[in-house]
Amino acid sequence: MMHRKETGKSVVYRFDEFDAFGMASAPGASFVGTFIVPKEHAHRVQEGNELGSLLNLYDEKVYGIVLRKQWSRAKRRRTWAYYYPPKAYEMAPCDCGNEDTHWSEFEGHLWCDRCQKDFIPKHNGLFDGPIPVRVAAKLGVRFDRVILATDRLDRFDMDAGKWESEKERP
């Protein structure tokens, strides 16, 4: 849930277990936090992508935007994972320097064999921003995935922009 409230000089955005799992750069958790944005900068907060734009503004450390509280650490289990490892998508390595990581059982996380831990990558490589599927296809990137419950390989059709399992549905 997101609540927006205007006060005298600021706009306050309050997020209460806000579901951010669909965000390209979400670190795999729901979001709990409050942003206080000076009114003169409120126009930079995009409607429909409030959390994304607020996090960007906050990361830029400008405009006097204040963030209170942190990411909620609730983790959601993956139902599928890409067939190819995170390295194939240029995702950030583990802090220890290991680039050969695996998909963690939790969304938004990777697994490092060397450290025996789940971690949130510093960036999500190709997944940060809209995936340019056709460009990626030309470069030989594949988006095939494995459905974990059944171990089924689900191929991604580059022309249709869909997985095979999605095409089966009417």
Check residue 99 for interaction with Zn ion (CB under 5 A). no
Given a contact cutoff of 8 angstroms between Cβ atoms, the answer to whether 42 and 35 are in contact is no
Q: Where are the beta strands (DSSP E) in 56-161?
A: 66-68, 80-82, 102-103, 110-112, 117-119, 145-147, 152-154, 156-157
State yes or no: residue 96 binds Zn ion (CB under 5 A).
yes
Query: Does residue number 87 form part of the binding site for Zn ion (CB under 5 A)?
Result: no
Query: Within 10 Å of residue 125's Cβ, how many Cβ atoms?
Result: 13
Residue 42: strand, helix, or coil: helix
Among 20, 26, 94, 126, binds Zn ion (CB under 5 A): 94
* Residue of 114, 134, 152, 162 that binds Zn ion (CB under 5 A): 114
Q: Select the residue interacting with Zn ion from 51, 110, 112, 126 (CB under 5 A).
A: 112
| Shortest separation between residue 120's beta carbon and Zn ion, angstroms | 12
- Closer residue to Zn ion in complex, CB, 51/94: 94
DSSP string, 93-111: PPTTS----EE-SBTT-EE
Based on the shown chain and the rule CB under 5 A, indicate whether residue 115 belongs to the binding site for Zn ion: yes
By rule CB under 5 A, what string of x and - marks binding of each residue 36-75 to Zn ion? Answer: ----------------------------------------
Any contact of residue 122 with Zn ion (CB under 5 A)? no
Stated as kind and residue range, the H or E segment containing 3 is strand 2-6
Q: Are residues 18 and 122 in contact, defined by beta-carbon separation less than 8 angstroms?
A: no
**Which residues of the chain form contacts with Zn ion (CB under 5 A)?**
94, 96, 98, 112, 114-115
